[in-house]
Amino acid sequence: MGDFHLAQANITTGRWPFDHWRMRGFASRVDSINDLAQQAPGFVWRPTSDRMMADLYRLGRDPMLEAFNLSVWESIESLRAFTFSGIHLEAVKRSAQWFDPATAFDVMWWVPAGHQPTTEEGLAKLDLVRREGPTPDGFTFRRRYPAPEPHAR
């Protein structure tokens, strides 16, 4: 598994802008969830929140309404262990009060170890899953694909 890591991106649209009082329950958890992710076993990398916000603005998106996340993990198992436990799982269970469930999309894809995907790459992978469903180029927890075979050396 050393040749490839798992990139993931997810996006959803808030019912209100993130600075609205009704979004406090979400907004108050973001930094602590990101900190926990970065300390989680198997975590590899994520761009800063400021970088992702700047990218969304540059791309004509609204980072005060769209929650976008991008990160890289050692494996599907390490991402799954973080996603479905602790404060992150609690936030996921409550997400319908903050976000429109119809706008929630997530994607995973394999990247060469050391690759740091861009916001554009993550958004393109989300669009791919939206259009075509899970494929080896972009998949979900429900329909997974194995990492590519390492090249012979």
Integer angstrom CA distances of residue 47 from 81, 94, 141, 144: 20, 25, 22, 24
In a domain, 117, yes or no: yes
Query: Which pLDDT tens digit goes with each residue over 39-68?
Result: 999 999 999 989 999 999 999 999 999 999
In a domain, 147, yes or no: no
Number of domains in the chain: 1
- Full residue range of the structural domain in which residue 28 is found: 4-132
In a domain, 44, yes or no: yes
Q: Is the pLDDT of residue 153 over 50?
A: no
Q: What is the pLDDT of residue 84?
A: 84
Q: Percent of the chain scored above 90 by pLDDT?
A: 78
pTM: 0.92
- The one-letter amino acid code at 144 reads R
Longest Cα–Cα distance of the chain, Å, equals 56
In a domain, 32, yes or no: yes
In a domain, 8, yes or no: yes
Cα radius of gyration (the chain) = 15
CATH of the domain at 43: 3.30.70.100
In a domain, 68, yes or no: yes
In a domain, 146, yes or no: no
In a domain, 138, yes or no: no
- Torsions phi, psi for 13 (to 5 deg): -105, 130
Where is 109: in which H helix or E strand?
strand 105-112
Where is 88: in which H helix or E strand?
helix 86-98
